[in-house]
């Protein structure tokens, strides 16, 4: 019998609000948003979007600035949890369904994670290991 995956996403009030906002985002544009966030996820000091790009996203998704930030932060959090737990696509889909993300949005997460997840996990590993090596070489 399969052991259920550990719960990595919990339904807090802010998560519920973010999920309702994410569920309302145009499905055609959503995968590109996920891809962009996942590409930049390992660059902690860098935002995924410039101020100008965020303004365009606000207009494209008809969101207030604070709602857009909640959406972007929540998507980043979900993807960071997927990286941290190196979660399998099917387990990610189950987690997303548990927080009531619509099936089309959950599938977009899973498709993006399936195509870019391992690469992102490797980038995080390199970021964690590389700074100590660079520090010793500079000495």
Give the Cα separation of 54 and 112 in Å (integer).
Answer: 21
Please indicate, yes or no, if residue 97 is contained in any of the structural domains.
Answer: yes
Q: Which pLDDT band, with edges at 50, 70 and 90, does 9 fall under?
A: confident
Please indicate, yes or no, if residue 9 is contained in any of the structural domains.
Answer: no
Average predicted confidence (pLDDT) for the chain: 87
What is the per-residue pLDDT across 40-96, written as a single tens digit (0 to 9) for each? 988 876 788 999 999 999 999 999 999 999 999 999 999 999 999 999 999 999 999
Please indicate, yes or no, if residue 70 is contained in any of the structural domains.
Answer: yes
Q: Which pLDDT band, with edges at 50, 70 and 90, does 6 fall under?
A: low
Give the pLDDT score at 131: 58
Please indicate, yes or no, if residue 20 is contained in any of the structural domains.
Answer: yes
Domain count, the chain: 1
Structural domain boundaries, residue 115: 14-39+49-131
Please indicate, yes or no, if residue 3 is contained in any of the structural domains.
Answer: no
What b/e sequence results for 32-64 when a residue is b if at least 16 CB atoms lie within 10 Å of its CB, and e otherwise? ebbebbbeebbeeeeebbeeeebeebeeebebe
Whole-structure pTM over 0.75, yes or no? yes
* Of 7 and 133, more confident: 7
Please indicate, yes or no, if residue 138 is contained in any of the structural domains.
Answer: no
Please indicate, yes or no, if residue 44 is contained in any of the structural domains.
Answer: no
Give the pLDDT score at 124: 87
Please indicate, yes or no, if residue 94 is contained in any of the structural domains.
Answer: yes
Give the Cα separation of 74 and 76 in Å (integer).
Answer: 5
């Amino acid at each position: 019998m399969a052991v259920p995956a550990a719960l990595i996403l919990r339904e807090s009030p802010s998560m519920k609000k973010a999920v309702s906002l994410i569920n309302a985002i145009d499905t055609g544009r959503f995968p590109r948003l996920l891809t962009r966030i996942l590409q930049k996820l390992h660059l902690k000091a860098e935002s995924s979007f410039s101020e100008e790009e965020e303004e365009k996203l606000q207009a494209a998704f008809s969101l207030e600035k604070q709602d857009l930030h909640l959406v972007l932060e929540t998507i980043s959090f979900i993807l960071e949890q997927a990286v941290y737990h190196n979660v399998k696509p099917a387990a990610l889909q189950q987690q997303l369904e548990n927080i009531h993300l619509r099936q089309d949005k959950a599938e977009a997460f899973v498709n993006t994670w399936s195509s870019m997840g391992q690469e992102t996990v490797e980038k995080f590993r390199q970021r964690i290991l590389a700074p100590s090596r660079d520090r010793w070489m500079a000495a």
